[in-house]
Structure 1
């Protein structure tokens, strides 16, 4: 028998053994393919892990780059080793702790990534096997087979060497992240212990480990740093290794090992891993679909059960967000909370099938708050990464509370939720005081305004249920701040700068006003007040047209490159989270048939059973939980509500086994690819007319029966009484926005106001002491530098007041630009360089004008010949964003605008390698009479060859000439 044939048989043995042992029927395990998502931009890993386990033992085939975030990409053919921690589907890389690599032959401490000899190896894609809790790879360079399995806290390796006389293992603690401190020490002839403290996305990570071999170490050689060691073993065929990890200390790793795997029976641990996964996946069982659909579904369910990860030793100790050690055996502590992604449908799914674990997640949040001072946004290894936006631990807590999960300290939870909403950072203070976040104050201002408003609604809902009605009123008011970024003229959510709508406006443009999206994808984000949003658009018919528009728009985007905007149907981007609820909004206008059409299209076209079967990053379960929920036939548009919105089930049958011992079944016997339309529902045998179901309908057990057909129903879910509701009854007035009116102007500027609160007066004043103001009836002129105050008023009800500043440019002064700036770096338009506004250190806030790959050539006309002493212009550098200082800036003067002479030149002395944000003025002394001043700033053109953006266009960002 050929070796490759033997290896493939080994890779299949687990399925055969488990099948004969349990004499089972078809199992969900048969349909899980961990390779789904490892290609394309899915960023998943294929290795061995337990449900929500601490260890993710997987091959490392890619060390850098966006598509290397999980350490593995299906297109790779070289492996560097097998490490014990990996992230599932994230957009930033981290982890890869404690790498082991078996090899034969000469010892090279180099990993070989630089092309020099190293311990890396080619591997066989043909024989690669991945199953829940098991992974197999054949290393081709040295003909070694590698098998991996795991318990919750221990990775178990089994190596089979072809060269029985030469068996070595490399241990590399320097793999991937920057090592802050490490230790690798031999305890006895079988055992190594140590730690690895590292820095990457999470600034301070602590991993302690205990490595035990089943055979004595014959020799051990360190590299100079003692972060790598090559171990040699006596002749033999197989070699087994157990690696236990802990975030606490070496003793914790030792206890974890002793508690979880005391034996050397690899197949026993492998089988236990399979059983653990089978028990998990059996919580939801489906039938009646195609083989492909079942593979996609069960793999998606599997992906929802990888993270969050166990972060708690067997003795109850864990590391808190104060980075100190704590002990608590009353619950289980976790890490890896990708909350901007997972609050949408992953955590709502857990409120159905993981209620006990949900309580533990919330208890973990509360420890983050108690020990670290705030609830997590994107927590990783007890570190606040500061990644993404919103305070989305809040809706996870509120959603659980509303759905009856209350076995945590609810008063402490509410305190922590309020604390999250009262921060003076990330624009939250402006959101509170101004009613929206100005784009010149905080980047991603529209997205943050919208998401803070939703988060505040969940606080209001929980406050209301806890009897805290006064606080509920405050947060229902704040939850309507979304109105202040809604432009009634276009129906889009737009940024405000100086209280004027961001312009020029193109909804398909990707700019810094939105988070990983454009205005199309965020203009539908009002899950807490859908009915008011529909009214603001003009009613059901207008809302239907608006919904149709996103799915039928041209898919082309403009502005910044944004890798996350993928899986496009029109401008609907399923590959990223802000779009996920949009197809279900049709139910709110009585057109559930369109929800059914688009949900089926997304499931059929944007999920596949191949490695590139995800249309975007998996994001710790969110891409998959959307599929799981939608395939069952319903989706949580508004977490924090008890409602799930009806879609179109993928299967003829599905059963959910609940923790309370009850079973909820979904039956759609007439279901088929053509029969995708719901004509009638029955709940427990009774006619059910609503296009939504309640959480308790599921939790109480029973049967939801779908009657499907090949054409839309004209009655199901059409009547307003049968539609889902999402409405804030307490009405808040929107702040009027400036439609026209230049912040800096020559002569005068015309002020035009608009407001979505049509039944209220718009008022304005030029002094904060003028409390009555003037009722706005028509546009008016401003001819001098001044402040303007505007608000809405209806009887005694008054909106917040917005202040705008206007600057008059000296008479007849203007500027002519000979090169084009990028629209998303407009700085406020053509006059940005002479408008008296100086850009801030965050280039994303809109006061900077950006030139990509071209020079800045600008001529200022002073209006008359004047005495000029000196002239200068400011620039910003942020090499991490491919923005560099100009190579040089030259100044030229002229009296007639035609004949220019040189006035001076400044050569840049700041290295393009300098880290962080740098602001610098370039200027020269002129000391002469002139009317025209020309500035030429030389762009690099392309990024330097040793920069991460090598070959790409570089930027220069000038401001205030």
Structure 2
């Protein structure tokens, strides 16, 4: 069954109800780029509750920016972003480092224009906006504000990575002023009043009329309560230095509603400072930000937006940075909605992790000191290892070595690779998937980082348990604990292959995640020439551990207690359930197929998974599942399902994502899927073939001389594949390697209007191991089943076996 006409109608309705908003003025639409013009930053900012869809902040900044700037419509905290499209008041313009809706803010600053009496509290300073006047683009934002005491303020915003640039035009107002809100009351813990705690981080602000500057800092870090207790980053501060182009007529400071004119310095909670500008009609301000010092914030300002640089110049620089990336993909065919979703997804996928070094130096929260080097923050690795990282390897390869180096610095300074780093580790999610990031990069040829240190770090992940491993649950956002890493490694996983549910939270998910991470460590060891016994140790654990929790009686994965008893089919899962996780052995799909009765039975179980509504694309554990059909001999069903999922889960407008973006993973699924490929097992270096959306896509890969051209004539009407070639070589299996396409070339899909036999096979083609380990594979028991095919390691013509012998038929 293909994409339904009802789904198509719903998709078109979404597009017609919310097309792209107001276009920017010509001066802010340079350089010309149809791709950048297709981005709608509001996609993923809505939902049936205020922030249930996407959790995206429609910010202005270049790719991977340290500080993103956004109109502030509400106070942000864990589960609340600073802008929501339903709001009708703006309370200022915020420099934010909140990387995802489920993470906290750190060291923010807010720039507040006003006229008349200075208003410094969030509630008092809100100004009604003309919603239809908003121009929202990646490089420029503007809006009309109704000044509180009469008149209007036209606010414009752009930014570089570390510097915000704002211009305020006052019309019919009294005494224009600009306030810098340095610190504020903030929520720690949750938006649930029964659990949340309001605290008042210390801050400071100082006015320098001679320099036309207002500078300051604050200690706000909303995730501080879940930091590992051994590295609390107690000295963290977010610094800023704002420089104006207009002399101050007067100035003062404020503290939680109390304004003190003619004072130049203030410290404490909920403090700020302001300047007034007399009869000036236009006021321009540039705000340098830093995690090191006020002096460094000022230096960042001078480097990125020096005196004399206009707002138009700043926007040109930022738009050029986005065009350099987005213009690399040129689409022919498809609908306007599909192109808008695609380029907005590209925009989302190149925001995180974000750079925090400041020209060769960075603040380390692990050592609470300034270090030399390159550094990144906002690593949502449990989410992004699946596909977002693969997208970065393709389209931001110049960044990847430094991103890995940053993770290795975290290892040296804090003792472990990051899991979910936001200033420092936060212990959110499970597994040590930095192992996967590094291994995938190495498999795909990435160089430029300390390989010996990388293996040392992943080896520690796989062999050293966390402190107090025997008695700490490490539940989600558990406070007062140290590094979580592979909780359960020292209790049962290393000995029996599973994490005990009566000792550790989310034990079923941990078991499967640790197995994949072991696979990554083994592959990395293979590439780095480590002893075969060492590689085999991790590979054996990778291949056997998942099936220690396979319940032969039910045919599903199920968590176990320390004594071996089953913990119950609903116990032990992370953002998923038994249905999602029973398909989660992406590094050994062949054995999974055998355990679930062979190809026919496996395909039947996938049908039930989808037809009975168990697939939850809003969460990452389900992202690879539609591609498993292709690995069980039914690529036509993969082709159907990926089209259906894309149609039902990706739209234009604020409700355009059905799940949280999670630092680019939701979009990365769509991006790869639209091109007809998906990295089911990222470390393998292979992509499973799906169903391309566009008739032709031309991709200029960075550093590659010839483009990668993906042609699929008729893809807008036909979803099935009847033939696939690369540079005229026939591809008979639904697998395309990274090495094949990373150098450019012509990937040509011949599409059909009904299912075909292309890519089908009676033997298993799923297992994507990079090196021979047949002696390990032959030890894995597979339960007998009336549906079972011949075990894949014994199949006379198994593609996997041929590959193990170095006779890959694709080459």
Is the pair's TM-score, using the shorter chain for normalization, greater than 0.5?
Answer: yes
Residue 283 of structure 1 aligns with which residue? 328
* Inter-CA distance 335–408: structure 2 relative to 1 (3 Å threshold): same
Post-superposition offset of 1:231: 2.8
Would you tell me which structure has more helix in proportion to its own residues?
2
1:497 aligns with 2:557: no
Q: Which residue of 740, 746, 751 maps to 1:703? A: 746
Residue 638 of structure 1 aligns with which residue? 681
Residue 476 of structure 2 aligns with which residue? none
CA distance in structure 2 between the aligned counterparts of 1:280 and 1:323, rounded to whole angstroms? 35
Post-superposition offset of 1:477: 1.8
- SS where residue 184 of structure 1 aligns? strand
Residue 272 of structure 1 aligns with which residue? 317
Structure 1: tracts of 5 or more residues without a match: 1-9, 113-117, 554-569, 736-754, 760-961
Would you tell me which structure has more strand in proportion to its own residues?
1
- SS where residue 574 of structure 1 aligns? coil
Residue 250 of structure 1 aligns with which residue? 294
Q: Which residue of 118, 125, 132 maps to 1:126? A: 132
- SS where residue 402 of structure 2 aligns? helix
Post-superposition offset of 1:136: 1.4
Aligned pairs for 1:337-348 (under 5 A) are 337-348=379-390
Residue 217 of structure 2 aligns with which residue? 195
Residue 456 of structure 1 aligns with which residue? 518
CA distance in structure 2 between the aligned counterparts of 1:238 and 1:716, rounded to whole angstroms? 64
Residue 52 of structure 1 aligns with which residue? 64
Aligned pairs for 1:204-223 (under 5 A) are 204=233, 205-223=236-254
Deviations 1:410-453 (A, max 9, x none): 11100000112222342222321332111100010000111011
Residue 434 of structure 1 aligns with which residue? 496
- SS where residue 175 of structure 1 aligns? coil
Deviations 1:542-586 (A, max 9, x none): 111111111012xxxxxxxxxxxxxxxx11111111111111111
Residue 185 of structure 1 aligns with which residue? 206
- Kept in 2, the 8 Å contact 1:28–1:298? The answer is yes
Residue 802 of structure 1 aligns with which residue? none
- Kept in 2, the 8 Å contact 1:71–1:96? The answer is no
CA distance in structure 2 between the aligned counterparts of 1:47 and 1:395, rounded to whole angstroms? 30
Deviations 1:865-886 (A, max 9, x none): xxxxxxxxxxxxxxxxxxxxxx
- SS where residue 126 of structure 1 aligns? helix
Aligned pairs for 1:664-743 (under 5 A) are 664-718=707-761, 720=763, 725=768, 729-731=774-776
* Inter-CA distance 319–345: structure 2 relative to 1 (3 Å threshold): same
* Inter-CA distance 427–733: structure 2 relative to 1 (3 Å threshold): farther
Post-superposition offset of 1:606: 0.7
Residue 699 of structure 2 aligns with which residue? 656
Residue 784 of structure 1 aligns with which residue? none
- Kept in 2, the 8 Å contact 1:214–1:264? The answer is no
1:585 aligns with 2:644: no
Residue 95 of structure 2 aligns with which residue? 84
CA distance in structure 1 between the aligned counterparts of 2:760 and 2:93, rounded to whole angstroms? 52
Structure 2: tracts of 5 or more residues without a match: 1-20, 187-198, 226-232, 256-267, 470-486, 786-811
Post-superposition offset of 1:17: 3.7
Post-superposition offset of 1:147: 1.0
- Pair member with larger Rg: 1
- Kept in 2, the 8 Å contact 1:97–1:175? The answer is no
CA distance in structure 1 between the aligned counterparts of 2:779 and 2:140, rounded to whole angstroms? 56
Tell me which moved more, 259-268 or 95-104: 95-104
- Kept in 2, the 8 Å contact 1:531–1:725? The answer is no
Post-superposition offset of 1:242: 0.5
Q: Which residue of 148, 155, 163 maps to 1:154? A: 163
CA distance in structure 1 between the aligned counterparts of 2:566 and 2:402, rounded to whole angstroms? 43
Post-superposition offset of 1:163: 3.2
Post-superposition offset of 1:694: 0.6
* Inter-CA distance 379–88: structure 2 relative to 1 (3 Å threshold): closer
CA distance in structure 1 between the aligned counterparts of 2:709 and 2:179, rounded to whole angstroms? 51
Residue 410 of structure 1 aligns with which residue? 451
* Inter-CA distance 629–618: structure 2 relative to 1 (3 Å threshold): same
* Inter-CA distance 348–315: structure 2 relative to 1 (3 Å threshold): closer
* Inter-CA distance 634–271: structure 2 relative to 1 (3 Å threshold): same
Residue 258 of structure 2 aligns with which residue? none
* Inter-CA distance 139–95: structure 2 relative to 1 (3 Å threshold): farther
Residue 801 of structure 2 aligns with which residue? none
1:307 aligns with 2:352: yes
CA distance in structure 2 between the aligned counterparts of 1:404 and 1:487, rounded to whole angstroms? 39
* Inter-CA distance 476–13: structure 2 relative to 1 (3 Å threshold): closer
CA distance in structure 1 between the aligned counterparts of 2:591 and 2:584, rounded to whole angstroms? 12
Residue 372 of structure 2 aligns with which residue? 327
Post-superposition offset of 1:133: 1.2
Q: What TM-score do you get using the length of structure 1 for normalisation?
A: 0.70
Tell me which moved more, 97-106 or 575-584: 97-106
Post-superposition offset of 1:164: 4.1
Post-superposition offset of 1:502: 3.9
* Inter-CA distance 663–288: structure 2 relative to 1 (3 Å threshold): farther
Q: Which residue of 375, 378, 381 maps to 1:336? A: 378
- SS where residue 185 of structure 1 aligns? strand
Q: Which residue of 135, 141, 145 maps to 1:139? A: 145
Aligned pairs for 1:844-863 (under 5 A) are none
Deviations 1:305-349 (A, max 9, x none): 111111111254443532211113xxx421111101101101111
CA distance in structure 2 between the aligned counterparts of 1:92 and 1:436, rounded to whole angstroms? 29
Residue 62 of structure 1 aligns with which residue? 74
- SS where residue 683 of structure 2 aligns? coil
* Inter-CA distance 419–44: structure 2 relative to 1 (3 Å threshold): same
CA distance in structure 2 between the aligned counterparts of 1:281 and 1:586, rounded to whole angstroms? 31
Tell me which moved more, 175-184 or 711-720: 175-184
CA distance in structure 2 between the aligned counterparts of 1:168 and 1:119, rounded to whole angstroms? 12
Q: CA RMSD in A?
A: 2.3
Task: Kindly tell me the number of residue pairs found equivalent between the two proteins.
Answer: 696
* Inter-CA distance 108–192: structure 2 relative to 1 (3 Å threshold): closer
* Inter-CA distance 300–13: structure 2 relative to 1 (3 Å threshold): closer
* Inter-CA distance 583–392: structure 2 relative to 1 (3 Å threshold): same
Greater relative contact order (Cα < 8 A, sep 6+):
2
- Kept in 1, the 8 Å contact 2:162–2:300? The answer is yes
Q: Which residue of 74, 92, 115 maps to 1:104? A: 115
* Inter-CA distance 339–669: structure 2 relative to 1 (3 Å threshold): closer
* Inter-CA distance 642–64: structure 2 relative to 1 (3 Å threshold): closer
CA distance in structure 2 between the aligned counterparts of 1:395 and 1:386, rounded to whole angstroms? 17
CA distance in structure 2 between the aligned counterparts of 1:387 and 1:173, rounded to whole angstroms? 28
- SS where residue 198 of structure 1 aligns? coil
- Kept in 2, the 8 Å contact 1:520–1:571? The answer is yes
- Kept in 1, the 8 Å contact 2:349–2:388? The answer is yes
Post-superposition offset of 1:724: 6.1
Residue 806 of structure 1 aligns with which residue? none
- SS where residue 255 of structure 1 aligns? helix
- SS where residue 288 of structure 2 aligns? strand
- SS where residue 48 of structure 1 aligns? coil
- SS where residue 619 of structure 1 aligns? coil
